[in-house]
Chain A
Amino acid sequence: MIEFYILAFVLIASAIFVIIASKPVYSVVGLLVHFAALAIMFFSLAAEFLAVIQIIVYSGAILMLFLFVIALLSSGVAPFSLGSDRLPKIAVPATLGVVVILGFLIYGLAHIPAVFQPSPVAQSASGSQAGPVGAADVFGSVGDFGKALFTTNLLPFEITAFILMVAVIGVILLAGESAPYVQSRRRARIVEREMREAIMRAGEE
């Protein structure tokens, strides 16, 4: 009960931070907190597999992609200034935070069976049964999810493979080394000016 409201507060606060942060890097940090809190909320909804996927795909892959692009875009323009060393200032609070979080994690690990145990409910339409989070073959467990994904929903699963392949090909076409459309900045400007003039001419006629 109270956990939901704490998580909801963290989710909303980090989402607001993402859109008001002055630099994209700060937004990425806000998004990281948002995704972590969301993964915890997915666990509370018995979606174990998706909570793990949330961490791996979103925090691990997509946010890294954002960070790489930010680093790429800012590399040539404004070289990094190292600035003053901030570690001495944040060392004590950071260590304290790590210790507290680690303590919570160990406490939680030691008390898993007592955390959440719903009473069993009759079988649902999809054939899965409610049970304690973490048990095998109940609603939301990896086995349950895998069975649904590879039997009833095999076609959507294969479509995701197709989508990913199209995305990979698209990214290579767009940003690859020998991009067919934009060979150089100068060439791009010439093409753009020609297009602009063509549009103007078309408008006058």
Chain B
Amino acid sequence: MPHESLLPVALINYISLSLVIFLIGVAGVVLRRNPLIMLMSIELMWNAANLLFLAFARAWLNNAGHIFAFLVITVAAAEAAIGLAIVVVVFRSRENVDVDEVAILKG
């Protein structure tokens, strides 16, 4: 059983907040065409997941959630580094960074 008394507010508040932030991130990826802002929206989504991990870890007093959040932060850092490297390479060869125009791999 979760120890909800340890949380500042009920667990459902954290779930809703995380969902809202995640959906904002999805909207950013779908609506914006600038790859930098798309990458930042992906960071928002990682962070929404992290928030949920930590809220549940606190509610269940189980620090496996902390380990998961740690892994997520590591993977997010790697993803940001590689994503930005791809943006730099694409920009170097095409002189613009609109993702709709980088469609050579489109089937």
| A, B: real partners | yes
Interface residues of A (CB under 8 A from B): 1, 3-4, 8, 11-12, 15-16, 18-19, 21, 24, 27-28, 31, 34-35, 38, 41-42, 44-47, 49-50, 53-54, 57-58, 61-62, 65-66, 69-70, 72-73, 77, 116, 118-119, 121, 124-126, 128-130, 139-140, 144-145, 148-149, 153, 156, 159-160, 163-164, 166-168, 170-171, 174-175, 179, 182, 185, 188-189, 192, 195-196
Asked if B73 contacts A53 (CB within 8 A), the reply is yes
Q: Given A19-B32, A24-B36, A69-B87, are A12 and B67 neighbors across the interface (CB < 8 Å)?
A: no
Mark interface residues in B54-82 (1 if CB within 8 Å of A CB, else 0).
11011011111011011101111111111
What are 5 inter-chain pairs, A to B, with CB distance below 8 A? Answer: A38-B47, A77-B95, A129-B61, A153-B64, A163-B78
Asked if A31 contacts B80 (CB within 8 A), the reply is no
CB distance from B75 to the nearest CB of A (A): 6
- Name the one of B9, B60, B75, B95 contacting A185, with C-beta atoms under 8 angstroms: B95
Interface residues of B (CB under 8 A from A): 3, 5-9, 13, 17, 20-21, 24-25, 27-28, 31-32, 34, 36-37, 39-41, 43-44, 47, 50-51, 54-55, 57-58, 60-64, 66-67, 69-71, 73-82, 84-89, 91-95, 97, 104
Q: B interface, by DSSP: helix, strand, loop or mixed?
A: helix
Chain B residue nearest to A126 in the complex (CB):
B62
CB distance from B66 to the nearest CB of A (A): 5
Asked if A57 contacts B73 (CB within 8 A), the reply is yes
- Name the one of A19, A38, A121, A170 contacting B51, with C-beta atoms under 8 angstroms: A38
Chain A residue nearest to B44 in the complex (CB):
A15
Asked if B63 contacts A140 (CB within 8 A), the reply is yes
Chain A residue nearest to B31 in the complex (CB):
A19
Asked if B70 contacts A118 (CB within 8 A), the reply is no
Asked if B17 contacts A189 (CB within 8 A), the reply is no
Chain A residue nearest to B97 in the complex (CB):
A73
- Distance between Cα atoms of A128 and B24 in the complex (Å): 35
Q: Given A139-B61, A163-B75, are A15 and B25 neighbors across the interface (CB < 8 Å)?
A: yes
- Distance between Cα atoms of A106 and B100 in the complex (Å): 49
